[in-house]
Amino acid sequence: MITVDFTLFPVGPGNRVLDLGCGGGRHAFEIYRRGADVVAFDQNENDLADVATMFTAMRSEGEAPGGAEAETVKGDALDMPFDDASFDRVVAAEIMEHIPHDTAAMAELYRVLKPGGIAAVTVPSWLPERICWALSEEYHTNEGGHIRIYTRAELEAKLKATGFEIGPHHHAHALHAPYWWIKCAVGTDNDTHPLASAYHRMLVWDMFTSPRVTRIAERLLNPLIGKSVVVYLRKPRGEGAG
């Protein structure tokens, strides 16, 4: 499930791209398929092992151009083991809401991005997330869970204060918002509830078939209840590390 729009975040051969907080690697895999060199960065060793396995499988199956490189790196988003201006692009998808010192993470993101480079930052949208918090305390009190709800204005203000130029934005995954509302209402670990199970089957069907009717519905609903908001940024040219 890709959140970033690669027409607004172009990557390809010759680009070095950081997937910050890569998790299961969904964006890293797409970046690799597009021929860019990608670094999947996370603090979870198990996730990184799975991502590395997938990179190997993609190489063996010819799913990425021969000249592209892909690697995994373990570390802390507040103190990344990369030189200043190391990357042409950075993705930070659904990570800032987990980090207590989010502005410090934003400063690190700015530091490792080259002047003129582009970043894409995604977080849960305010309204769908507020409903989840209202329905379930468990949803936002689990260890490692979401610790804040951003408005887009707040997110952009923090990124602008870091030094970024703010670009376009959009919302994504409107069809996923009701699923999480159902999960929060019946129990976040209750995967066998009939309503939650049925909705999940629909999402899987939609992911693999992409029928026109659901694509149109999601496009219309995204501005209203899109589960994620994506903000695109640029580091000003001629600037060094933040």
Cβ atoms within 10 Å of 183's Cβ, excluding its own: 23
pLDDT of residue 75: 97
Position 242 pLDDT exceeds 60: no
Asked if the model's pLDDT at residue 142 lies above 90, the reply is no
CB hemisphere CA count around 10 (13 angstroms): 3
To the nearest 10 degrees (0 to 180), the angle between helices 194-209 and 176-186 is 160
Q: Is the Cβ–Cβ distance between 168 and 232 less than 8 Å?
A: yes
Contact 12, 36 (CB under 8 A): yes
Question: For the segment 59-94, what is each residue's pLDDT rounded down to a tens digit?
Answer: 999 999 989 999 999 999 999 999 999 999 999 999
Dump pLDDT digits (tens) for 174-212.
999 999 999 999 998 888 999 999 999 999 999 999 999
Alpha helical stretches, state H, 45-148: 45-60, 102-112, 126-135, 137-141
Q: How confident is the model at residue 130 (pLDDT cuts 50, 70, 90)?
A: very high
